[in-house]
Structure 1
Amino acid sequence: MAQLIRRATNPRVFIDASTVDLVDEDLVAEFEPEWTGNGLVEAAPTDGSGIKILCGQEIGTVSVTAELWDAAPPMDLDTWQDAAEIHVVWPSATMDFGTTGADGEDVLPLPGSGDYRVRVYGRNRDDGDPRDDTAPVEEYVIQVWPVSGSAASHEPVNGSVTYKQTSSLGARYRLGPARGLEL
């Protein structure tokens, strides 16, 4: 059974340009995600050194919890609108999800560089931009675990698996302009 190793939580991660950016120690996540794969999470296509999570707000704050597990954690689909998982080859032992937090509160230490699965859950993504003060907080949980050897070589073709897609925001991006939807 999978064991939780670490958890880092920040209930007020500032977002700009509609994304939570997960970055390594170089603090760079410069790429344009397509979002058509799962409408929730994308990794940098060339080196995996950055991950972006699509938010319902353009500018604002969201709640983010990041967890390091020793193996794939149990699924929790009942309380989340969207859930997707990707494969990354992470270049460092640091995964920063806020880049503005004090004292490392927005950093999830990893065992080192290498192959990881990253599962993201999101909810309250459809509650408007800008947010009304009475709207529920937009929330994300990021679960990370190492994969090695034969597990890494058996990843899906694009490294992405979608488990649940119920938000309108995610649907707009998954279906996108090819289906005549306005983004």
Structure 2
Amino acid sequence: MPTTSITGLLIVEYNRFTLATAGAPPGCLDLPPNGLLGVPAESRPFEEGTVAVVATGVSSDAVHITAETWPAQPPTDLSSWQDAGVITLDWPGGPASLLGEDASPPAELPLGADLPAGRYALLVAGTNRDEGEARSEGMPVETYLIQLWPAADDQPHELVLKATSATTALWRQPPPPRIVVQPRAVGGGDGAGSVGVHQVLGRLPGLRCPAGVSRSSSHIGDDAR
């Protein structure tokens, strides 16, 4: 059984809501690279207390949330959910809240638990994520399950369990291209068989060669000489 459980509506803003400590400001500049949930990419003073961010399909509207804390990993049936994932995060201690719209007062759904400091696992499962950024009356409400528990020592940092919605595909960020640079042969020869930096860059669509490097020349800096 969960230690605490709360269900309610939360008004989100800019396609996201956050998990944060008591008194933290709402909002986060980052959207998770996996399209569903993640931790902030960097620490910013105006986001102090934000420990996780969840991407939503709706831009500025209500989502329905059931949020639970557990003493250990819960048994969770994900068959009815579109998307689901688990991350680990460092909790500084104290009460936890889900924060949405930056209003006065801010949109908030307290988890009702004073959590000890430590490493936790956060599961987020969502459905009705593809009904549009703005929903008219009668349309399905975007719905989430949030579960938080102390992480086991072998808990992976991030685990995508389901990714079936178009919203997750939209927000998912591809990994950066892998660039392998082979050094050009040393000597005065024609460099046959060698690969220069400009040749690798030239094969990546949308990636420009640095100044002084030509896509067609056979040596770095030929354009400048």
TM-score, normalised to structure 1, is 0.80
2:163 to 162, 165, 168: 165
- Structure with higher Rg: it is 2
Question: Bigger relative contact order, structure 1 or 2, given CA contacts below 8 A and separation 6+?
Answer: 1
Write the deviation string for residues 21-63 of structure 1: whole angstroms up to 9, x where unpaired. Answer: 2110131366433532x21111124568421111111101111
Q: State the Cα deviation string for residues 34-93 of structure 1 (Å, max 9, x = none).
A: 532x21111124568421111111101111111001111113211100000010001122
**What is the CA RMSD across the aligned residues, in angstroms?**
2.7
Alignment-derived partner of residue 83 in structure 2: 82
1:23 corresponds to: 20
- 2:39 matched to 1:43? yes
Per the normalisation by structure 2, the TM-score is 0.66
Query: Moved runs in structure 1, 4+ residues, more than 4 A?
Result: 99-102, 175-180
Give the 5 Å matches for 1:143-154: 143-147=147-151, 151-152=152-153, 154=154
Aligned to 2:126: 122
1:32 pairs, out of 29, 32, 35, with 29
CA contact (8 A) 1:49 1:89 kept: no
| Matching residue within 92, 98, 110 for 1:107 | 110
Per the TM alignment, residue 130 of structure 1 is displaced from its structure 2 partner at its CA by 1.3
Amino acid at match of 1:14: I
Runs of 5+ unmatched residues, structure 2: 44-48, 178-204, 206-225
Deviation larger for 59-68 or 171-180: 171-180
Q: Percent identity?
A: 30
CA contact (8 A) 2:32 2:53 kept: no
Q: How does 1:50-89 map to 2 (within 5 A)?
A: 50-89=51-90
SS of corresponding position for 2:29: coil
Q: Which residue of 2 aligns with 1:142?
A: 146
